[in-house]
Structure 1
Amino acid sequence: MRFKIGFIFFCCMSTFVYGQNHIQYADSIRVSSAIPELSYAVISGDKILEINTLGLHSIDLKDVATLNDRFHIGSNTKAMTAFIIAKYVEKGKLKWNTQFFDLFPDFKKTAKPEYYDITLEKLLSHQARIQPFQGENDPAVPDFKGNPREKRNQFGRFILTLDPVEINSAHTYVYSNAGYTLATMMLEKATGKSWEQLIDHVFNKDLKLDVKLSWPENQIAKDTWGHSFENNKLVPVPSNTDYHLDYTEPAGDINIKLTDYIKFIQLNIKGLQGQDNYLKASTYHFVHKGIESYSLGWFNSYENNQDFSTHSGTAGTYYTIAAIDRKKFIGYIIFTNSFNEATVNGVRMLMRKLKKDYGS
């Protein structure tokens, strides 16, 4: 018994010392990288091992960062969209190998033949050869009309008329925001509900997370301001800025509090540990590891004999990253409210430090 008490005390003291060191280290990175606000957490499936938030809501405000602050998570939305789809696969509404044109046969008339065999799984793992639509050198898109779901359908029909991207042995997938629009269209068709309705149903009603769309509200409420990088300086971006993702919202347009995002990552950690929760453990295993390189909403990363699910996200004003150590079952999350090279480099330095200290 004496050994057990001593061991527990040692573990608690180690975590406390790590936490103190990491606060100083993280804040030094935040300052040197000119990141207005930086929040991070290290978690297990059922515990928060460390959590901190540092800095200010904006370079132009004196509002101090809090754990109630919301961050736009960009492409980390993909894992959440894939999570919803996985739930409806479990319910039998879809199968991973369901073909797109089985649900949208009329789209085949104008689509390129190379797309005829695309499936839900291929779309979510970026193997469907869909044009990327990542904001740079994108084809011109018509101005579609209607509600978000109607616009997505029009956009989907349009992108299937475009030439497919080549995949070869060196590049087994082509990262595509538009591919997630097509996968979401399949979900909407199978359920009769829009992506926006399903986000609310799954994350807010079922899981009791406070998930919202687009940028955090910083005009009416005191909250984080994203910062773009213009003329070599950070520029605060108000939430009422005219901003939209051009019909690829399911690939990157959620905002959330760190404390709620932690709960989502913990579900994934528990699932990878073999525990059924909102999804079955077998589903989590397939979502994370079912497909090499990029699975369903997660990159597969192998570092120094370690095994990670990882993803980062930005829409140009926030930068977030999440990683799950699939051997030690530890999650690492970093949220920031700026995006430029200095932000990315600073976040990577902090992530390496956290992984080294908790993963060794």
Structure 2
Amino acid sequence: MRLYKSKKAVVSTISMLMILTACGSNKGTKIKDELPQAKPATGMAGDGNLKSIVNYIRVEAGLPALAAVMVHDGEVIELAADGLRSIEDNQNVTTEDKWHLGSLTKSMTSTLAARLVRKGEIQWSTTISDVYPEMIGMMKPEYEAVRLDELLSHTSGMRRSISNIDKYEYISSDINTQRQKMVEDALSLSPKMTKGQYLYSNLGYMVAGAMLEKVMGNTWETLITDNVFIPLNMKDSHFGAPDKQGTVMQPVGHVAKGGGWEAVKVSASNIADNPVVLGPAGTVHASLTDMGHYLIAHLAGAKNRHVPDFLTAQEFKKLHTPMENSHYALGWGVGENFLTHNGSNTMWLATIEISADKNTAIFVVTNAADLDKNDSTAARASKKLLHELMARSDAAFNH
């Protein structure tokens, strides 16, 4: 679930979530850490107490692990991580570990598109039929004039998802082939909404990513690495489950089970993530430091500043401005004076909030998700930590 909030309105949109089956008992494991006797004071950013706050909120919620990073005025001010990589092991998370971002990937795909528009490789007004002229007459006619920016703002009319999305890995091991077959299938489906109306769509991002691949002759993974990760010094940002070998050398995602949590490790039969074909909509993982670098760039843009050799203030404005009659921009939920987005592959929950007024940006993440519950433990703890971090920012910089 993705929640975009302002003082006047709350817009709730639900994306397609890939349900991946975990193996093990039906009970799940509960966190046995003891809650500290006293809740740590909120304090102020940079006082060295963030780890204690993260620990308290994590233990209170019973989460495997919880982490956060704060950026203010172009600098990483503080970061912390607490808990276990896997509830079944005793390896603690570190501030160098990598965390799955889920749909926070969407803003990165939109940022990639902005970079390619900047270079003149594609335009925001480029349509699906411009990139796939061979499919005119085969695709539903409603899609022929759908623009790149309409796909990235969830106003293309495209439905949320495509059924049996994991089928593409059986069609071919080549990701370009998988994504191009997905496009053929997607464009044969009738639109769910009229073009211009908002409907959160993973499928729209998948088609947009495939368009970028076709124009550039390279995979989305290579394009986003070369055009977003490398320029922003995001050295530890990659794709799929962070613990790729199932060795718990990185954090592992968890699902709720029987009042506890169950780790979902990578195995021969389970990639512990969304299918690779879904990449542009939600498969990136990154370190806290890398997310700090990413936040620095978008906070600068939100404050109408250039990021040299990356994007101008005007180019960021395109990414951060909601479409007409919508609270959603290009990969960002937009509230009163802030940008936000949540992301989950049903085993992790990550949240970004960027406040231009406060000159502060925050990333919060946990390696567990229970978003099918009416009162999600992971979402509640993430929100609590986000509020603590904003309060710490206010105390340090806005008093």
User: In which range does the TM-score fall when normalised by the shorter chain?
Assistant: 0.7 to 0.9
Pairing of 1:1-360 with structure 2 (within 5 A): 14-17=44-47, 20=49, 22-133=50-161, 139-140=163-164, 143=168, 144-166=171-193, 172-209=197-234, 210-217=236-243, 219-220=246-247, 222-240=249-267, 242-243=270-271, 245-246=274-275, 247-273=277-303, 274-277=305-308, 278-289=310-321, 291=323, 292-302=326-336, 307-340=337-370, 341-359=376-394
Tell which deviates more after alignment, 230-239 or 327-336. Answer: 230-239
CA-atom RMSD, angstroms?
2.2
Helix, strand or coil for the counterpart of 2:346?
coil
Q: Distance in 2 between matches of 1:325 and 1:354?
A: 12
Q: Distance in 2 between matches of 1:139 and 1:224?
A: 29
Q: 1:196–1:337: structure 2 CA closer, same or farther, 3 Å change rule?
A: same
8 Å contact kept, 2:152–2:331: yes
8 Å contact kept, 1:258–1:335: no
> Which residue of 1 is the match for residue 36 of structure 2?
none
Please list every run of 5 or more consecutive structure 1 residues that lacks an aligned counterpart in the other structure.
1-12
Shift of 1:159: 1.1
8 Å contact kept, 1:78–1:180: yes
Shift of 1:49: 2.3
Helix, strand or coil for the counterpart of 1:43?
strand
TM-score, normalization by structure 1: 0.87
> Which residue of 2 is the match for residue 3 of structure 1?
none
Q: Distance in 2 between matches of 1:145 and 1:24?
A: 48
Aligned pair count reads 336
TM-score, normalization by structure 2: 0.79
8 Å contact kept, 1:34–1:343: no
Amino acid at match of 1:326: A
Please list every run of 5 or more consecutive structure 2 residues that lacks an aligned counterpart in the other structure.
1-42, 371-375
Helix, strand or coil for the counterpart of 1:322?
strand
> Which residue of 2 is the match for residue 9 of structure 1?
none
Residue deviations 1:256-278, cap 9 Å, x none? 11111110110111223312321
Percentage of identical aligned residues: 26
Shift of 1:167: 5.1
After TM superposition, where is structure 1 displaced by more than 6 Å over at least 4 residues in a row?
Answer: none
Q: 1:213–1:168: structure 2 CA closer, same or farther, 3 Å change rule?
A: closer
Q: 1:198–1:205: structure 2 CA closer, same or farther, 3 Å change rule?
A: same
Helix, strand or coil for the counterpart of 1:311?
strand
Q: Determine which structure has the larger helix proportion and give its number.
A: 1
